Amino acid sequence: MRKDSDTMKTGLEQLLKEQREYFAQGKTKELPLRLAVLKALKRTVQKYEKEIGQALQKDLGKSATETYMCETGMVLSELSHMIRHLHRYAKEQRVRTPLAQFHARSFTSPEPYGVVLVMAPWNYPFMLAMEPLIGAVAAGNCVVVKPSAYAPATADVIERIVGECFLPQAVSVVKGGREENTALLAQRFDFIFFTGSTTVGRLVMEKAAEHLTPVCLELGGKSPCIVDATANIPLAAKRIVFGKYLNLGQTCVAPDYVFVQEEVKDALLSEIERCIRRQFTQKPLENPDYGRIVSQKHYDRLRGLMEGVTIYTGGACRAETLQIEPTVLTDVTPESPVMREEIFGPLLPVLTYRSLSEVTQYVTAHEKPLALYLFTESRQTQREILKACSFGGGCINDTVIHLATSQMGFGGVGASGIGSYHGKQSFELFSHRRSIVKKSVWMDLPVRYQPYDRWKQRVLRIFLR
């Protein structure tokens, strides 16, 4: 085992050496080459669409529709956006030059970091590996992609796609589990992009700090969903059920719990139960489009969170397939175990409130969530929530869809993450933007040079105020 570890370490060191040498040649900085490989990547993803679907079905039981909606389609959309806009993103951006620097031209210029590491999670194993890769390649970096060991079939497909599109010294895939993760984090990268739990995110940041490596951490947290008495209850229920039970709740931005105004609690619960049956059938565990929990460990953890609270609907489990019905929990208190950790499964605790201040006090007393969802027709309520609560992103009168666009960045705040990506934000994330002043040589104002006198002071006060 020790020999294998040494061999792996040596192999990773050699891989990074080759990538650094390739990056130093400047080929990844050539815009035509970047566009060419992004177009090749798009064609290859389309070519492997069937294999991607089969892999996600094997790893997580995902249906063909959900696979395209949440994984393959989103990757293709991001590729199309980046191909369309890369010329504009990569341009120098001219900025105003202060009068004190007359005569000069000021501009910012993006440059890639170098060799970057992308560490992907298991819940959306294809999309959350490929979308950061797209941004890193578009910005001109060399990349090491580390897929999740909990989705091995998807990791194999990612490896094949990357192998067809890139030279290994430009982009490589490193498969494996904890040992490979540890070995990778021991290397010196120029940037690290990590998606996963807050606990592991802290470890990634700690390892990155040894080399002062910048990071983007896409983490999670307990994302609240607030429903007030003015909300369209049937529509709210339908959209909550979609967002919560997508991928069996194994979504970092899934509504983690619902705060519903007391007078509409019964109506909301009734509609949620009806929507569950309509979307997943009367017997969800027999629905071929209903997936599974990723592992026995997570299945057992979720079963434990169901204890001590009232199951309003759902609750059936199937151990042999690692499945749990879409479940709604009531008689939940802030002290209940299900409210103390991110659920990451098909369990929806429902709490009630009377005044909005109860909700804002609860949310602000805890770590900042990755997402927040608000169902209301009251503009005053919208203003109060947006003013009082800090969160990564969210929706008003919907759930989860805010991340399904290349027009806005997606990321967390505080304990839910550092940094933002998607579209232009991805290009900027994987780039260092240099600030440059190009000074003319035909004029040189003497104000800044010694000896200083009162005349120079007066001129400086005109320039700098």
Q: Are residues 251 and 326 in the same domain?
A: yes
Q: 375: burial class by Cβ within 10 Å (0-12, 13-18, 19+)?
A: buried
The reply to whether 50 and 131 lie within a common domain is yes
- 352 and 326 in one domain? yes
CATH number, residue 261: 3.40.309.10
Q: Are residues 303 and 426 in the same domain?
A: no
Angle (CA) 83-425-249 rounded to 5° is 100
What per-residue confidence (pLDDT) applies to 308? Answer: 87
Q: Please state, in angstroms and rounded to a whole number, the distance separating the CA atoms of residues 195 and 420.
A: 11
pTM of this structure: 0.94
In 3D, which of 331, 294, 376 has the Cα closest to residue 59?
Answer: 294
Distances (CA, A) of 326 to 57, 246, 357: 19, 10, 30
- CATH label of the domain that carries residue 56: 3.40.605.10
Per-residue confidence (pLDDT) for residue 430, from 0 to 100: 98
- Which stretches of the chain drop beneath a pLDDT of 50? 1-3
pLDDT of residue 100: 81
Q: What is the tens place of the pLDDT at every residue in 387-398?
A: 999 999 999 999
In this structure, is residue 175 part of a structural domain?
yes
* 426 and 401 belong to one structural domain: no
pLDDT given at position 169: 96
Task: Check whether residue 183 and residue 244 sit in a common domain.
Answer: no
Note the pLDDT of residue 64.
95
| CA distance to 89, 106, 401, per residue, from 242 (Å) | 34, 49, 10
124-156 pLDDT, tens per residue? 999 999 999 999 999 999 999 999 999 999 999
- Please answer whether residues 61 and 51 qualify as being in contact, where contact means their C-beta atoms are separated by less than 8 angstroms: no
Residues 152 and 241 in one domain: no
CA distances from 349 to 138, 260, 356, 375, 414 (A): 41, 11, 18, 17, 24
CA distance 33 to 37: 6
> Last residue of a domain, which of 378, 411, 444?
411
Look-up: residue for tokens 């004029």?
A: 443
Residue 209 belongs to domain spanning: 2-219+416-433
Residue 463 lies in a domain: no
Domain for residue 438, yes or no?
Answer: no
Residue 5 neighbours by CB under 8 Å, 6+ apart = 179, 183
Q: In terms of Cα–Cα distance, which of 318, 326, 348 is closest to 282?
A: 326
**Residue of 343, 352, 418 lying closest to 409 (CA atoms):** 418
Verify that 31 and 91 share a domain, yes or no. Answer: yes
Does residue 239 share a domain with residue 191? Answer: no
- Specify if 456 maps to a domain: no
Q: What percent of the chain has pLDDT over 90?
A: 90
In angstroms, the CA 155 to CA 288 distance is: 23
Q: Do the domain assignments include residue 443?
A: no
Query: Structurally, how many domains does the chain consist of?
Result: 2
* 153 domain residue, yes or no: yes
Alpha-carbon gap, residue 394 to 373, rounded angstroms: 6
User: Are residues 332 and 371 located together in one domain of the fold?
Assistant: yes
Instruction: Give the pLDDT of residue 460.
Output: 87
| Confidence (pLDDT) at 1 | 34
**423 in a domain, yes or no?**
yes
In a domain, 22, yes or no: yes
Question: Which residues are catalytic, by number?
Answer: 218, 252
Same domain, 136 and 230: no
Pair 195, 275 in one domain = no
